[in-house]
Structure 1
Amino acid sequence: MKLEITPTAKEKLNEIPEGKIIQLSFDMGSCDIVNNIYEMKVVERREAESDEKIIHSENLEFIVNEDFEDTYEHDLTIDFRNNFFVFKNRNQIFNNRIGLRYV
């Protein structure tokens, strides 16, 4: 998967303490296939479960659902604008108001 982190997003994500990992979990109650991630969770570093995988980008690690890459057509850019993260690719903006929550 091509996962790009913009400099503004990377600056914000680099504030996450050691020993933590970013979890991108789909909201299974959402009807909207591409806007179903509304927050990025910062959790204790752990191994991926059987229905998850770990994606590496820009020295950051993300735990994602196993079908995460297919949902975003194997191309995702994470940006940070107006105090929110923005998920987009070359064709569209998926969600422009994603928060960051420490669990």
Structure 2
Amino acid sequence: MNLTLTEQAKEKLREIPGDKMIHLSFDRGSCDIVNTLYEMKVINIRETESYEKIIQSEQLDFIVDDDFEDSYDHELTIDYKNNFFVFKNKNQTFNNRIGLRYV
């Protein structure tokens, strides 16, 4: 997957401690899968489950479900504007109000 971060997103995500990783998981209760990621969870570094994998970008680890890449057509840009993260690719903006939550 081509996962890129804008400068604004990198700046915000650099605040995350080095012993953490970012978990991107869908709300499976919705029928519109690409718009059902409402928050990025900051979790302790852990091993992946059998249905998960790690995507690295800008020295950050993102843990995602196996079907995450397919949902975004293998291309995702994460931006940060107006106190929210924005998920988009060259064709569309998927969600422009994604929060960051420490768990």
Name the TM-score class by shorter chain. over 0.9
Measure how far apart 1:41 and its partner are.
0.1
RMSD of aligned alpha carbons: 0.5
Give the aligned residue type for 1:53.
K
Instruction: Give, in angstroms, the shift of residue 3 of structure 1.
Output: 0.5
Q: Distance in 2 between matches of 1:54 and 1:64?
A: 6
Contact 2:27 2:33 in 1 (8 A): no
Q: Which residue of 1 aligns with 2:41?
A: 41
3-state SS of 1:48 partner: coil
Q: Give the structure 2 partner of residue 57 of structure 1.
A: 57
- The gaps in structure 2 that reach 5 residues or longer are none
**Shift in Å, 1:32:** 1.2
2:4 is aligned to 4
Instruction: Name the % identity.
Output: 71
What's the counterpart of residue 32 of structure 1? 32
SS at match of 1:50: coil
> What runs of 5+ residues in structure 1 fail to find an aligned partner?
none
Aligned to 1:85: 85
Whole-Å separation in 2 of the counterparts to 1:85 and 1:75: 16
Report the count of equivalent residues: 103
* Correspondence 1:68 to 2:68: yes
* Equivalent AA in structure 2 for residue 77 of structure 1: T
**1:84, CA displacement in angstroms?**
0.2
TM-score normalised to the size of structure 1? 0.98
Give secondary structure in 1 for the equivalent of 2:34. Answer: coil
Letter of the 1:82 counterpart: N
Mapped contact 2:26–2:33 kept (Cα < 8 A): no
Q: Distance in 1 between matches of 2:33 and 2:43?
A: 24
